Structure 1
Amino acid sequence: RISNFLLWQLAYAELYFTDVYWPDFDDAALHEAFADYQRRQRRFGRTSEQVEASQQ
């Protein structure tokens, strides 16, 4: 829950939402969160095309 707190600071934050409740959050759920983060493309406000153009 963010509740309008630090919205500007969250501009480029990576948030992860899961259906696993905290008491049931185990190593497998943590590794799934890491895997999800690794699959992301960090764009920092740019489009996918702009990111690809800057990598060439």
Structure 2
Amino acid sequence: MTVSRDLDLPAAISEEVLGLFLEDNDLDALTDILVQSLEEALRILRDEIRGDVLH
């Protein structure tokens, strides 16, 4: 199965933004963004798994 989705992550961060988080030592905000991204990825995987099951 090939999954082709454009992720619309409002908090998607570039390397430059990541550098700013690390430079400012704003690890709580960075952690929040990473957790949000992981939750979105898990939601997409769950949707894909549900879509493959036919009864």
TM-score computed with the length of structure 2 as normaliser: 0.40
Greater relative contact order structure (CA < 8 Å, 6+ sep):
1
- The answer to which structure has the higher helix fraction is 2
TM-score computed with the length of structure 1 as normaliser: 0.39
